[in-house]
Amino acid sequence: MALITKVVKEETRPVSIKLEVSMADRLAAYAEYLNRSRDEIVALALDHVMRGDNDFQATQSRGESMETSPARKRMQKAAQ
């Protein structure tokens, strides 16, 4: 038995996003406050949002693409 627990890390993929300066500043401050990286904060926030989106969860369980999902259709309709 190991004395120290091994941490299994998932493979990561670099992505690029653009944020308003004020949001980027808030993200940096929040990451510093929690002593986490900005990447971790963004990943955790996205996970939280996606887990709470029932339409998205239903789409994923049915194997639908986001192009045909009810949530996507509502977003497109709202944008018109």
* 7-54 residue pLDDT tens: 888 899 999 999 999 999 999 999 999 999 999 999 999 999 999 998
Q: Quote the pLDDT of residue 42.
A: 96
Q: Quote the pLDDT of residue 5.
A: 86
CA 19, CA 50: separation in Å to the nearest integer? 19
For the chain, count helices (H), then strands (E): 4, 0
Q: Quote the pLDDT of residue 37.
A: 96
pTM score over 0.85: no
Can you give the residue ranges of every domain in the chain?
A: 21-62
Q: Quote the pLDDT of residue 18.
A: 97
